[in-house]
Structure 1
Amino acid sequence: MDYKMFRAINRLAGRYSVMDELMIWISNRVRYVYIFLLVFMWFRDYSSKKASRHAGVSALLSLFIHGFIKRVYFKPRPFVKRRVGILIPSKRDSSFPSKHTILVFAVSTSVLLRERMLGAFMWGLSVLTGLSRIWVGHHYPSDIVGSALIGSAASVVVDKNSRFFDALVYRVMDMFNKRIP
């Protein structure tokens, strides 16, 4: 089932040059849109700043989870086991979880929990990012769904435990400020 869904999406790659370029751009560059939005939010108001901070902590937590899973579980990427349309080069590391997807869902869910309109826009970009990773031939749909769930769950954990994570962030910032004269 996973391969059939992958194939249904990936077989479109290479047929529509405009869509190929869009999917490559989303896959490689959407992170800069997220960075821009988080920096913009940092300078707006207290609520936006808090959402931006939580998004950063969620991204770090998601990266930690991603690294842990990559060390204990290996799933070959689609192009390793089968002949598929691959639009951009990739490492031959584990297909699950998708770092691109886990990060964009961690950030967009954090924003969605605090700022609905912007968060919904970012969540839409996250879905497109996941789709782009299948389109370019790097991940199976189950990798994307699992990564989206992990990234979103990390955001919810950070939001529900915001006192702990905020105190941790302030402690790290204090340590950093003491080192810089």
Structure 2
Amino acid sequence: MSTTVLDTPTGAVTVLVTRRVKAGHETAFEQASGDMTAAARAFPGYLGGQLVRPDTEGGSEDPSLYHVVFAFDTAHHLQGWQQSPARSLGLASIAQHIEGQTLRPVSGLGHWFAAPVGPQQNPPPRWKVAVVTRLGICPTVYVLFLLLGALLAPWPLLPRVMLLTALVVLIMTWAVAPQLTQLLKPWLYPAMRSKT
């Protein structure tokens, strides 16, 4: 299991959790995960969540990997959920259906810009991370507005924002950011020059 925490400028916190589900346990896992999400809804500051099933159509993703995206309005409210008995019971129910218990918290956008393996690489400066993030988010939001703007226009503002931000996080994390960081890798991670 891996967990990624994304802080947003508004103070809201989005959490991405990846779990490897045991073969034959998919239905039971989805039920337990749904029960855990239902329990989280009762907690102060909960903004929403979604279970993302593996993309088995394209064959590019491991069919046992499930992703959960959820958000709280503040880190304090997220902590309240994380320290609750309800979450502990939910995790205990899920544990029998997943493999491994590795926890990998990453704050901010760091998981999008994990440095390539090797001693000759420097991490990118923050301004480069900001430039690449904007290059990815701006067209992603624009396309989502073109595709969904008219459909979502009658919705109240908060549900619209919740849906669009969840879609942006998903698209950036699994599609746009990996492509951009690969394309711009020479600029993001210039090789260290050896001193002569």
Structures share a fold, TM > 0.5? no
Which of the pair is proportionally richer in strand? 2
Q: Relative CO higher for 1 or 2, CA cutoff 8 Å, sep ≥ 6?
A: 1
Which of the pair is proportionally richer in helix? 1
Q: Rg bigger for which structure?
A: 2
